[in-house]
Amino acid sequence: MAKRTDSNIYTIVFAVIMVIVVGSLLAFIANTLKPRISENERLEKMQNILYAMGINNNNPEKPNSVVFIPVTEAGKAFNQYIVKQYVVEGNNIAEGDAFSIDLAKEEALAKNPSYQKRLPIFVGKKDENTYYIVPLRGKGLWDAIWGYISLDENLVIQGAFFDHAGETPGLGANIKERFFMDDFIGENILDASGNFAGVTVFKGNNDPENQRKTDNKVDAISGSTITGNGVSAMISTYLKQYYPHIQTLVNQK
Amino acid sequence: MAFLSKKDRALILDPLADNNPITVQVLGICSALAITAQLKASIVMGISVIGVLSVGNVVISLIRNIIPSKIRIIVQLIVVAALVIMVDQILKAYSYELSKQLSVFIGLIITNCIIMGRFEAFALGNGPWRSFLDGIGNAAGYALILVIVGFFRELLGSGTLLGHQVLGDPIAKTGLYAIGYENNGFMLLSPMALIIVGIIIWVQRARTPKLIEEN
């Protein structure tokens, strides 16, 4: 005898009820938690931007660990150190609310050719030094990668922070480790003749300690070629768009 | 574990050795290759799977008599996916740091064959309490192999354990590196995980002859 649960009607009714129950449960949870989650993300973004301009609690005795400033201080420190925010739209640059710009959303909107992509630039000041901090976004092996790079007035990298959504632990995920990110500090993004060159994550450049700062290259991580190429690509795509505007800002000063 | 009957105890202890999900049932190999380059990642993944599999087994076991058999795989998938998304959202709201560290594993848990395998093989036919024990046991057996593989891969591949340099500093040439030892970068690539799992299977079968199939 066929079981009650084998009939088609039972199956369909069960499926419908299951979808409604699980769907509303998840929607309820997502909606309830949304304010907390977006607040966490907002504070994290502040921590990341400040990290790139060198405002972090990295411990000199632990050269391998990334330590942000505490979440509770992020908002205050952000207002203190980030003195100006600019928004680039096409060839124009104007002061504006750069913090609320989400590069992922801008990229999605920019698929429509009539949309003018907006790019944020943050200007930070610490100990009389000015930092120009720009966000980057690109593709790794499995998922999105992103980061923040701070440049000084000569377009030399002063700090870098990278993060990823799902790169392989132990391989591509190492782009968010100090030994990789710190290699970028001091690298020029222009070549010797002043043209844009970016910074390439390069295999076998025989410079594991990264002593050569003007070669536009940093040492790659073994086993994470595609993630590394993704980092090179996002640096070259985005910094190419940012650097003329940063030069404008430097000249305005 | 005096409060467990002998049968219940077997549910937890068998998967640790003689019925290990990775080395005997050969389930969950994919994630065992992907995330064992570091010991810490292996431990975290092990704990996450223990949590999801034990709760998931209980949920499936509770609704086992009303699941239509034609769509049972889909129902199982929805249960895992819903559980994992809930855990992800709650972590993001209340423990953001932890959720950042777990980000990649959360997704990998859904694809883990052990979860679907245990739902299908055990939870559909047994009560909630036994399913719970079975979930803990199998996930722990999985975690055990992950930790062993992660230990050797991180030690031999990067010379570190949980991020601490235990063999000396490869750049400053101290410790073992002073006498010419080098890290084996090949250990960090997934094929080596398969080879290590193979060696574990070999050792296990050599010690437990009843596991060897007769041809």
Structural domain contains residue A9: no
Give the domain range for residue A211. Answer: 43-252
pLDDT of residue B178: 81
CB A53 within 8 A of CB A126: yes
DSSP state for residue A68 in the 8-state scheme: P
Structural domain contains residue A116: yes
Structural domain contains residue A106: yes
DSSP state for residue A156 in the 8-state scheme: B
pLDDT of residue A17: 93
Structural domain contains residue A27: no
* Cα angle for residues B32, B35, B36 (degrees, 5° grid): 70
Max Cα distance, chain B (Å): 66
pTM of the predicted protein model: 0.71
Q: Closest to B89 (Cβ–Cβ): which among A33, A71, A209?
A: A33
Q: Do B68 and A10 touch (CB under 8 A)?
A: yes
Of A133, A70, A125, A130, residue with least CA distance to A99? A133
Give the residue, B212 or B116, on which the prediction is more confident.
Answer: B116
Overall size of chain B counted in residues: 215
Q: Do A169 and B38 touch (CB under 8 A)?
A: yes
CB A123 within 8 A of CB A218: no
Structural domain contains residue A14: no
Give the residue, B3 or A200, on which the prediction is more confident.
Answer: A200
Residue of B nearest to A169 (CA): B35
Q: Closest to A40 (Cβ–Cβ): which among B71, B96, B107?
A: B96
Structural domain contains residue A20: no
Q: Do A166 and B78 touch (CB under 8 A)?
A: no
Of B80, B72, B31, B30, residue with least CA distance to B52? B80
Cβ neighbours of A14 in B, within 8 Å: 66-68, 71, 75
Cβ neighbours of A26 in B, within 8 Å: 82, 85-86
Of A26-30, A75-79, B93-97, B147-151, least confident by mean pLDDT is B93-97
Residue ranges of B 32-91 with Cβ closer than 8 A to chain A: 34-35, 37-38, 41, 65-71, 74-75, 78, 82, 85-86, 89-90
Structural domain contains residue A7: no
Of A231, A144, A153, residue with least CA distance to A188? A153
Residue of A nearest to B71 (CA): A11
In the predicted model, what is the mean pLDDT of residues B111-133? 88
Q: For the segment A50-106, what is each residue's pLDDT rounded down to a tens digit?
A: 999 888 888 777 777 788 888 888 889 999 999 989 998 888 888 888 898 888 888
CB A149 within 8 A of CB A162: no
Of A40-49, A76-85, B96-105, least confident by mean pLDDT is B96-105
Residue indicated by tokens 């009843």? B210
Of A3-7, B14-18, B124-128, B129-133, least confident by mean pLDDT is A3-7
Of B138, B141, B160, residue with least CA distance to B151? B160
Domain tally, chain A = 1
In the predicted model, what is the mean pLDDT of residues B160-177? 79
In the predicted model, what is the mean pLDDT of residues B138-157? 90
* Cα angle for residues A171, A173, A176 (degrees, 5° grid): 125
Q: For the segment A126-155, what is each residue's pLDDT rounded down to a tens digit?
A: 888 899 999 999 999 988 999 999 999 888
| pLDDT > 90? residue A212 | no
pLDDT of residue B44: 82
